[in-house]
Structure 1
Amino acid sequence: MKAYVFTQYGGPENQEIQELPTPEPGPSEVRIAVRAAGVNPVDWKIRQGHMREFLPRDMPAVLGSEAAGVVEAVGQDVDGFAVGDEVFGSTASNSGAYAEQALLSAAATARKPAGLPFASAAVLPVAGATAYDGITQLELDAGATLLINGIGGGVGVVAAQLARDREITVVGTASEDKRELVESLGAILVPSGDGVAERVRQILPDGVDAILDLVGGDSLRAVADLCADRSRIVTAADPGTAEEVGGVPIERDRTSTVLDAVVALVAQGKIDPHVNETFPLDDAGSALASVEAGHARGKVVLEIG
């Protein structure tokens, strides 16, 4: 099979297309013919080696963490999936999604509704499910105020829509060039950068009830004081800084239960995954570069097969 891999930890100079053997599914895994793969910041962070201590990879390692496609083989003890099923899910341990074939974890795989494009389904296991977990964890009531720090990416786009559906007022930090996208989500854009907290207070003088952080670092430090109850600061990006300011890391569910819930909302028209850029597998480097540079609005997807 054709796959886009990295050959050692480091920068994009270590990425290339290779021909690899077709993987065989182990216990609790399914193999799919990939039709689409989501491109996420976690992909380049894994390539850089930021997660090698708890996510070690054998080289060459196929990039990518989520995919949608058609089941071609099932491993031992897998129930509920059969050859020919259209599914989407998270990649299995030591597998990747930027390839013609990929192994998915059966526990983190769900059926794709017939009318949903593969590209839309492919971006739900990471960004969609992370957003769902974060909004669920915050337990905000209708009328509450939520700041999404870094609203313009894939997680932020879905989180804003989930919050809007629950009648939560959303303000989001992002660059000015993402204003149209942010306002289309029913959220209020607050341009990021120096003075961001003051700009939020011009809109919400009493601050916010909660913060969903998708950036971390100094960007999180800059807005933390806006939230009186620091336990209502949840991060998907930087647990260390969140702890420093009194917040907590996101609690990920990582099961098909969440995927079923998210895809149902997509099918009902309550969530638009906002797939804004698609690339062929041969141009995976450009797709990942767009995400790594932080320029992507919404989601970037590889379309394969």
Structure 2
Amino acid sequence: MFAVQYDRFGGPEVLHLGTAEAPRPGAGQLRVRVRAAGISPVDVALRSGRTPMGARLPLPHIPGVDVAGVVDEIGDGVDGVAVGDHVFGVLDVAKLGGGSAQFAVLPLWAHKPATMSWAQAGAAGSSVETATRALDLLGLQPGMTLLVDGAAGGVGSVAVQLAAARGIQVVGTARVDNHDFLRRLGATPVTYGPGLAERVDAAGTARVDRALDVAGAGSLPELLQLTGDPAAVVSLADFTAAAHGVRLSMGRLAGEPDGRHGLRAAAELSTEGRFTVPIEAAFPIREATDAHAAVERGSRRGKIVMIVDDAPGT
């Protein structure tokens, strides 16, 4: 099969389109012919060599944990899906990638609704699972107010919508030019940075019951000021969280709730017109270098995704 891969760490230029052995599904898994593959910040961090997880990578490595595609092979013990079905999901995160290719194996999936484009479905998986896991950790109840710090990005924009669907009032931080975008997603926007508590108060929010730090930009002291309780804050990106008494959630750690049920919930919400996956840009797979560079530039409004076809060129 064809696959985007790299055999050394570095910038986007280390990526190339080559060939690799096609994976086969094991028990409880299915294989898809990939139609779209999302690119997440963890893909960029692994490729660059900036994370200790890179020591686990056998090279050459195929990046990507998010895909959508057409089922073409089903492993033992899998029910409720047939060859030819359209699905989206997340690859085995223990293998740290493999989705930017012609074929991929999914242990975690849901049926793709017609209301989701291939690009949206291909970018959805890990953002939905991560956001669902974080919202479950926070113990949200209808009527509560949640502040999402970093609400306009890939995970943040998903968390805003999933929280709103649970009956949560959402306040989201973002740059001023993303405020209208957040309003369309169902959040009250405020600008991020120092002085957050004062801006939240000025926006008419009487209280903040829970806070989710997606950005990892050093906002934990102010999130604690707003909620008054370290147990009411979860971070997805700040490695100083423990020093503040805050939980850091990274990839379905032992003892954490499992966010896999979020995939089916997101599909149902999409069918109802209550959920979308914002896409900032879509690239053909032969332009993987440009796609990864777009993720590295940061400050995105939604996700970056690659469209996979059967004749990508070289």
Q: TM-score, normalised by structure 2?
A: 0.86
Aligned partners of 1:130 and 1:252 also within 8 Å:
no
Cα–Cα, structure 1 residues 163 and 26, in superposed 2: closer, same or farther, change >3 Å?
Answer: closer
Across the aligned residues of Structure 1 and Structure 2, the Cα RMSD in angstroms comes to: 2.4
How many equivalent residue pairs? 301
Residue equivalent to 2:246: 247
For 1:60, what is the secondary structure of its paired residue? coil
For 1:45, what is the secondary structure of its paired residue? helix
Aligned mates of 1:165, 1:78 — CA distance in 2: 29
In the alignment, does 2:294 pair up with 1:290?
yes
Aligned mates of 1:174, 1:142 — CA distance in 2: 24
Aligned mates of 1:197, 1:12 — CA distance in 2: 38
Residue equivalent to 2:102: 100
Aligned mates of 2:230, 2:52 — CA distance in 1: 30
Find the partner of 1:259 among 226, 251, 263: 263
CA shift, 1:78, in A, is 3.8
Aligned mates of 2:213, 2:14 — CA distance in 1: 30
CA shift, 1:2, in A, is 2.2
| Structure 1: gaps spanning 5 or more residues | none
Residue equivalent to 1:275: 279
Aligned mates of 1:245, 1:200 — CA distance in 2: 21
For 2:240, what is the secondary structure of its paired residue? helix
Aligned partners of 2:137 and 2:257 also within 8 Å:
no
Aligned partners of 1:128 and 1:154 also within 8 Å:
no
CA shift, 1:55, in A, is 7.8
Aligned mates of 2:54, 2:76 — CA distance in 1: 25
One-letter amino acid matched to 1:243: A
Residue equivalent to 1:165: 165
Aligned mates of 2:105, 2:55 — CA distance in 1: 16
Aligned mates of 1:254, 1:51 — CA distance in 2: 24
**After superposition, what is the alpha-carbon deviation per residue over 1:55-98, rounded to whole angstroms, capped at 9, x for unaligned?**
82221111111101011223344444432222111113534111
Aligned mates of 1:280, 1:54 — CA distance in 2: 26
Aligned mates of 1:72, 1:286 — CA distance in 2: 29
CA shift, 1:101, in A, is 1.5
One-letter amino acid matched to 1:190: V
Aligned mates of 1:224, 1:47 — CA distance in 2: 33
**After superposition, what is the alpha-carbon deviation per residue over 1:181-234, rounded to whole angstroms, capped at 9, x for unaligned?**
112122122212333333223335765111011022523344332111210101
Aligned partners of 1:132 and 1:262 also within 8 Å:
no
CA shift, 1:32, in A, is 1.2
In the alignment, does 2:204 pair up with 1:200?
no
For 1:64, what is the secondary structure of its paired residue? coil
Output aligned runs, 1:53-64, within 5 Å. 53=53, 56-64=56-64
Aligned partners of 1:2 and 1:17 also within 8 Å:
yes
Report percent identity of matched pairs.
39
For 1:218, what is the secondary structure of its paired residue? coil
Aligned mates of 1:30, 1:99 — CA distance in 2: 15
CA shift, 1:302, in A, is 1.1
Aligned mates of 1:61, 1:176 — CA distance in 2: 38
One-letter amino acid matched to 1:142: P
Output aligned runs, 1:1-305, within 5 Å. 1-53=1-53, 56-92=56-92, 93-94=94-95, 95-105=97-107, 108-203=108-203, 207-238=207-238, 240-250=239-249, 251=256, 253-255=258-260, 257-305=261-309
Aligned partners of 1:266 and 1:273 also within 8 Å:
no
4-13 or 208-217, which deviates more: 4-13
Q: TM-score, normalised by structure 1?
A: 0.88
69-78 or 209-218, which deviates more: 69-78
**After superposition, what is the alpha-carbon deviation per residue over 1:141-188, rounded to whole angstroms, capped at 9, x for unaligned?**
333221101001121112112222333222111122212211212212
Aligned partners of 2:162 and 2:266 also within 8 Å:
no
For 2:218, what is the secondary structure of its paired residue? helix
One-letter amino acid matched to 1:2: F
